[in-house]
Amino acid sequence: MEMQVLNISIGEIIDLVIMLLGVAIICIAAFSYRKQNFIRLQAAHQKIDELSQRMAEQEAALLRQQHLYDLDKRLATIRTQHPAPEKTWTNYNSMLQDIDAQLNNWITSFESRTQLAEREVQFCTYLLVYPHLTLDEIAQHICYSEKSIRNYKQRIAHKLGVSSADLYQHLQNDVITYLYNDNTNSKLSAL
């Protein structure tokens, strides 16, 4: 075997090395550009996801405000028909029918879903419809002593799995969920 000697000059080697370095720099620049674009694209997608999340939260908050407004209108209509809670059980049952009509049978549903006693449902109804009344004033209407009404409220809250302080908010949320989770026309009927 014969060995061929390559007759390459140092200048040619330097030119070859420079050319290879140029190709390497171009490859590195292209890779870096693609990586930067990928990182920018990821950041843009993350911002879009964050904005979508914020928009969904704002839509949910707006929808809740609309539901609260509608609920307030319904409760105002009830208070117009019945400015004060009924003290007698017979009158309460008549009032209950008017409230149930305004709230699309929420009371009937609430009573069956929660397994609360009739008097406990009455207390919850008064608490929801007449939020301006104190516990002592509600106690007078359902014939409980002022001392026992706080314990009564705590027992009801415990049965519903909420704190006594959150009972009104829980009732409000329950009505809103009942009225608006099913988007049928019957539940979203106008006043």
Angle at 91 between CA 86 and CA 96, to 5 degrees: 85
Whole-number percent of the chain with pLDDT over 70: 91
So what's the pLDDT on residue 69? 92
Tokens of 81: 């028909």
So what's the pLDDT on residue 166? 93
So what's the pLDDT on residue 1? 54
Q: In the predicted model, what is the mean pLDDT of residues 110-124?
A: 88
pLDDT in tens, 107-116: 888 988 888 8
Question: SS3 for 106?
Answer: helix
So what's the pLDDT on residue 15? 84
pLDDT in tens, 23-52: 888 888 888 888 888 888 888 889 999 999
Q: In the predicted model, what is the mean pLDDT of residues 133-150?
A: 82
* Phi and psi torsions of 61, nearest 5°: -65, -40
**What is the distance between the alpha carbons of residues 15 and 52, in angstroms, rounded to a whole number?**
55
Query: What percent of the chain is helix, strand and coil (3-state, nearest 5)?
Result: 75, 0, 25
Q: Which positions ≥6 away from 86 have C-beta within 8 Å?
A: 92, 94, 95, 141
So what's the pLDDT on residue 191? 35
What angle do helix axes 167-180 and 106-114 make, rounded to 10 degrees? Answer: 120
Q: In b/e form, how buried is each residue of 22-51, taking b as 16+ CB within 10 angstroms?
A: eeeeeeeeeeeeeeeeeeeeeeeeeeeeee
| 88, pLDDT greater than 60 | yes
Q: In the predicted model, what is the mean pLDDT of residues 51-76?
A: 91
| 171, pLDDT greater than 90 | yes
So what's the pLDDT on residue 187? 39
So what's the pLDDT on residue 3? 58
| 174, pLDDT greater than 50 | yes
